Amino acid sequence: MSEETYPDDLRYHREHDWVRVEGDEAVFGITWYAQDQLGEVVYFDPPEVGATTTAGESYGELESVKAVSDIIAPASAEVLAVNQGVVDTPEVVNSDPYGAGWLIRVRLSDPAELDGLLDAAAYREYLAGSQAEG
């Protein structure tokens, strides 16, 4: 189990997904909070390479011993690569959600969409608020 962390170089979606921008490409994954809520991840159903994601909509599924969860795209993009390591060993999402546990590499369709995402501090505040309500 990894330690709770939200790296400052990422942008966060309220559905607990992150994006790491690398030039005109980006990497998507799920946050520490998301993997913690899911429990042990046992299956990753990824999109096809060449498929497109739409901001705020599902692009695949992660299945845990507890539930099947849609993975929500933090931005609209074209899928360039799927992390075969997660397909083969899905529990890496639990142990390293920001490193080896990344899910897909994409080319962003509209980088301006990222302006609507949260930075690490805002995401932590969002989590604190949603946990207080729950």
Question: Going from the N-terminus, what domains does the chain have, and what CATH number goes with each?
Answer: 11-125 (2.40.50.100)
Backbone angles phi, psi at 118, to 5 degrees: -90, 145
How does pLDDT run across 55-91, given as a tens digit for each residue? 999 999 999 999 999 999 999 999 999 999 999 999 9
The candidate with the shortest Cα–Cα distance to 66, out of 43, 100, 93, is 43
Q: Return the higher-pLDDT residue of 3 and 77.
A: 77
- Contact criterion met (CB below 8 Å) for 103 and 83: yes
The pTM (predicted TM-score) of the whole model is 0.94
Helix (H, G, I), strand (E, B) or coil at 40: coil
* CA distance to 68, 79, 112, 114, 117, per residue, from 44 (Å): 10, 15, 28, 25, 24
Q: What angle do CA 46, 62, 106 make, to 5 degrees?
A: 40
State the pLDDT confidence band at 3, using cuts at 50, 70 and 90.
confident
Percentage of the chain beyond pLDDT 90 is 93
Q: Is the pLDDT of residue 2 over 70?
A: no
Could you report the per-residue pLDDT of 19-46, keeping only the tens digit for each?
999 988 999 999 999 999 999 999 999 9
pLDDT at 51 over 90: yes
Cβ–Cβ < 8 Å for 55, 112: no
